[in-house]
Structure 1
Amino acid sequence: MSGLDDDYAAAGFGGHLEWGESPAVLVIDMVRAYFKPGADLYMGSRDCLDATGRVLAAARRGGVPVIYTRVEYGPGGIDGGLFFRKVGALRSFVAGAGGDLGEIMPEIAPQPGDLVIAKQYASAFFGTSLSATLAALRVDTVVLCGVSTSGCVRATAVDAISHGYVPIVVRQAVGDRDPRPHEANLFDLAAKYAEVWDEEAVVERLAQ
């Protein structure tokens, strides 16, 4: 173990949460803005998109509910508050602004029966019906795919555990603009707020 690992372990971080009995897959903001070259939010890689496709295929084989989020704002970002003012690139998601940047990527497009939630802030829970929906479905575990690791994925994982759901972050199915915030946030999520699983193990579990 590294010195950092030793320090975290000595502080009591790094406990483990068990995968529950009733999972759902949550696909966070996998929209064109992050995968279209030239867009302000373009990440430069589609590896997490391909991995998400494989996770979704396993979920559908296993009859596991799938929920998507996308970001959408009213005119001028009026419902985006300070977050919209802080992050200029969010203007890509103003309704009626033109373009396709807010559309979910076709490779992982929702299927009939999937729920798509529009959100205005980083967490998929904040200001949305997500927690009530999960409770009504008797879900106890949320499998997180999406972007970005340091932003909306992290915020959603922290809120998931705060609402009483076990967050499982799929390492290969989340992505960021740079490997440094990506890896740092995966490390910290695994230490404090979530379980970080490899894609292969998640696919195997979902298919059951």
Structure 2
Amino acid sequence: MSVNQMIYDFAVWLDTHSQSTALHESFYMYNWIESTHVLALMISLGMLFLIDLRMLGLALPDIAASTLAQRLSLPMLVGFGVMIVTGLMLFYAIPVRTSQSLWFRIKIVLLIAAAINAWLFHRRMRAAGTDWDTMRKAPRPLRWGAGLSLLFWALIVICGRLIAYDWFDCRTSPIEPIASVAGCLIDQAQF
């Protein structure tokens, strides 16, 4: 059994839940969850981007990087928490179509890359010590991490928006190899 088949089977199983259908067909709930997802995204990424821009020396150069990060960490983490919960709920509402979206799969890969980058960034920050904290720019490895963070999250947001406008839908003549990457199962494309 292929990975695409396992993902498809899991998505079909989720789709059989009455709560999944109710959430997708709800007149208001799906829209509220989607709106909350976007608002949480704005909060968390707004805080993260300020920290990244500070590391690059492009914003708030007069504030110590550690002070800025300390003050913005709580709202950023709360925003990320809400964003994860609402993102899972959005997936739960439309699991089959979402799991077979090229943009969703790219977004998942980018989320993993962003998480690895964040882990490496914090590791490098601890290793760099504190003598750079009040400098206009962070050391080069931290600037690279901040730049990658900005790039990954910009691409994640773009892919998130493109999920709703999926030009590579498995229901319409999928194009190989895009269909394979998107997880389309040609013989089961009728859903």
Report the TM-score range of the alignment, normalised by the length of the smaller protein.
Answer: under 0.3
Compare CA radii of gyration and give the structure with the larger one: 2
Which protein is richer in helix relative to its size? Answer: 2
Which protein is richer in strand relative to its size? Answer: 1
When the two structures are superposed, what TM-score results if normalisation uses the length of structure 1? 0.24
